Amino acid sequence: MTGFEHLDPQAPIGVFDSGVGGLTVVREIIRQIPNERLLYFGDTARVPYGTKSKETVLRYTRQIIRFLESQKVKAIVVACNTVSAVALEEIEKEVDVPIIGVVRPGVRAAAAATRNGRIGVIATKATIESNIYANYLKQIDPKLEVLGKACPLFVPLVENGLLEDPVTDEIAGRYLAELIDRDIDTLVLGCTHYPLIRSTIQRIVGEQVTLVNPAYETAIELKDLLDKYGIRKTTEPHLGGDMHRFYVSDDARGFEVFANSVLKYGILSAREVNIENY
Ligand code: DGL
């Protein structure tokens, strides 16, 4: 008995984020468990979460969970690092389906990757101030040294398409200098957007630093979680544009443009939801 026998393996998995960034997690889930149907919600009306208080992020998160539950999802993936960092510990007690965030998978991968015990974490201000990566990493090994750095300009740079650009190089050079000086050998990309500028970050920190992408690790752990509860969808996917559903709280057209650049397959449309009604 797992308590989740009643869940329908054919039901979609709910994935949510503060906006478009969680599509990097969607991309990894589609790569690793392509049979699954996803139902994505991006809170494009209220993004960014990374500068907001814990109380506000908790309120937004509860509304999104209510929306996803109304859609009868069989599991929930918190794609947003900020929500995973500041709200998940409280929210997971309130949810009736399996729920997974991106922080713990990233932590496990970073602890396994480091050789010199010095791990850098880059993320939003809220994630860094929560200290969650350091706390979880030290639970695994108290000797680990964790160096956090908030990189608030990365999100707008990515959203403006400056993925390979001298401006992004300049900003990344400034943000990452102190981590390089402290001789980190592992760096966690602790924000949904950062995998999209992975090559810039790798070039600046050098090939000797292992980059950890929590989106990738989360997709692996999601697969294990679905197996554990016997709710993995085994039937073949139908490869139509309506296999996955996308919802946003504002600017569906802008979301579609970004989604198509990240996912490289045409999504038919994103629908708008008034999330304040939930
Ligand atoms: N999705 C957020 C995160 O991963 C980044 C954008 C925001 O600040 O809301 O932390």
pLDDT in tens, 39-95: 999 999 999 999 999 999 999 999 999 999 999 999 999 999 999 999 999 999 999
User: Is residue 83 a contact partner of residue 61, using CB atoms and an 8 Å limit?
Assistant: yes
Same domain for 58 and 119: no
SS3 55: helix
Boundary-marking domain end, from 168, 194, 214: 214
Catalytic choice (85, 150, 191, 196): 191
- Å from CA of 182 to ligand 1 middle: 26
Q: If you write DSSP's letter for every residue of 74-113 in order, what string do you get?
A: SEEEE--HHHHHHTHHHHTTT-SS-EEESHHHHHHHHHHH
For atom 2 of ligand 1, the residue with the nearest CA is: 80
Query: Has 80 been annotated as catalytic?
Result: yes
The helix-helix angle for 252-263 and 23-32 (nearest 10°) equals 40
In a domain, 78, yes or no: yes
Query: Has 151 been annotated as catalytic?
Result: no
Provide the whole-model pTM: 0.95
pLDDT at 42: 97
By C-alpha distance, which of 104, 116, 101, 105 is closest to 146? 116
Boundary-marking domain end, from 196, 214, 232: 214
Which atom of ligand 1 sits closest to the CA of residue 18? 9
| Per-residue pLDDT tens digits for 116-131 | 999 999 999 999 999 9
Same domain for 113 and 154: yes
Range of the domain at 115: 103-214
In a domain, 2, yes or no: no
Which residues line ligand 1 at a C-beta cut-off of 6 Å? 17-19, 21, 47-50, 80-82, 124, 127, 155, 191-193
CATH code of 136's domain: 3.40.50.1860
